[in-house]
Structure 1
Amino acid sequence: MSTSDPTHLSAEIRACRLCADRFAATHTAHEPRPVVWFRPGARVLIAGQAPGARVHASGRPFTDPSGDRLRDWLGLDEVQFYDRDRVAIVPMAFCFPGYDARKADLPPPPICGETWHHRVMDALGDVPLTVLVGGHAHKYHLGVRTGVTETVAAWRDRAPSVFTLPHPSWRNTAWLRKNPWFEGDLLPVLRQRVQDVIHD
C-alpha cells in the first residue's frame, strides 16, 4: 500500500508516538491518542487547535461544549458534522497536549504539524470551504501575525473559501459579547456557505 494512500496515512497518524515523552512530562502524564477525522472528498475542512481532555477520552473530535458551540456556528447537526464524506477535522495537533501545573491547556506541539500536516493537506486535495478555528490555525494556515480579533474581523477578505473564527471555548464568551458583529454579520454568511458546499 502506498504511503500516499489516505487509509494508510490515517493509520500512520493513529500509531504516532512522537510526543510520548513530552506528554508523560505534563501535569496530566497521559499517553498519546491521535484523534484522526478526515477523508478525501470532504467539502468542509475544519482546522482547529488540538483535542481537549474530553476528546482525548472519547476519541472523537469536538465532543465537548466547544463542539456544541462550533456546530451552532456552522449550522450543522451532529450527523452532518461527523460525516467524514462532508467534513474533515484536522487540528494543529492530533493529540491532547495536556495541562500545565495550573491546569491550563498546553499549546499544540509544533512537531505534529511539521510531521503530518502537509501530507494530510495533500491527501484532502481541494476543499471548497476551510474554517480556521483559533489563533494557532490562523497563523499556520494563513501565515498571519495579527491577533485573533483582527484576523477574524478581516473575514470578508478571505470569504467565501476561507472563514476565520475564534476558538469556541467558553473562555471566549466575553469576546463574543464585545464583538457582536461576529454573530450578527459573519455567522449568517458562514452558515449559508456551509449549506451551499455540503449540498453541492
Structure 2
Amino acid sequence: MSIDTMIGVDLAKSVFQVHGASMNGEMRFQRKLSRQAFPTFMAQQPAAAVVMEACGSAHYWARVLSGFGHEVRLIAPRYVRPFVKRQKNDAADAEAIVVAAQRPEMRFVEPKSEAQQSAAILYRSRQRLVRQRTETVNALRAALYEFGHVIPQGIRHVGRIRAILEAPNSDLPALMREECLAMLEQLAVLSG
C-alpha cells in the first residue's frame, strides 16, 4: 500500500493543528482539533506519513499514530523553523512541518519506545539527584568556609564536615550548626 498523503501535526497541550498535503505539497486539508478529537480524527485517516516536531509528547503520539497504521516521522524543531513562511502560529507551523519533511536531505529523529522513554526519565532523575547532592556538599563547604574551615572538594570529605559540626568544643554558632546538620541529613537521603 503506497502512502500518498503527508500530515503535519503541530502538537500543543489542548489544541492540535493538522495540515494534510499530497506528497508533492498540494494542500488537502487543515484542521484544528482538540486533544480528545485528535486520535479519533487520525484513526479515520488512511495510512499517511505523519510528521511532528520532536517535543515533549511527540514520542507518545508517535506510538499512538503508528498503531493506526501511519508512518510516523519526527523532526528536530530547529529544522522546521526556516520553513515557516508567514507569522508564527499553529497553522503555519503545521504547514512548515510538512514542507520541511518533504526535503530529501531532511534528517528525522527515531521515535522512542516506552522502555526508552522510561530509561531516559530514570537517567534524568539520577542526574538531578547527583546535582542536588553536589550542590548540598558545596553549600556545606561554603558555610564552613565562612567560619574559617576549609574543606576539600568531593563527597568523600563529608565525614570531615560532620566531625567539625559535631565537635564538642566547636567554635561555630548553634544556629549555623543546626542548619548544616540538617543539610547533612538531606545529603544522607540523597546519597541513600
Report the TM-score range of the alignment, normalised by the length of the smaller protein.
under 0.3
- Structure of larger gyration radius: 2
Which of 1 and 2 has higher RCO (CA within 8 Å, sep 6+)?
1
| Superposition TM-score, scaled by structure 1 size | 0.26
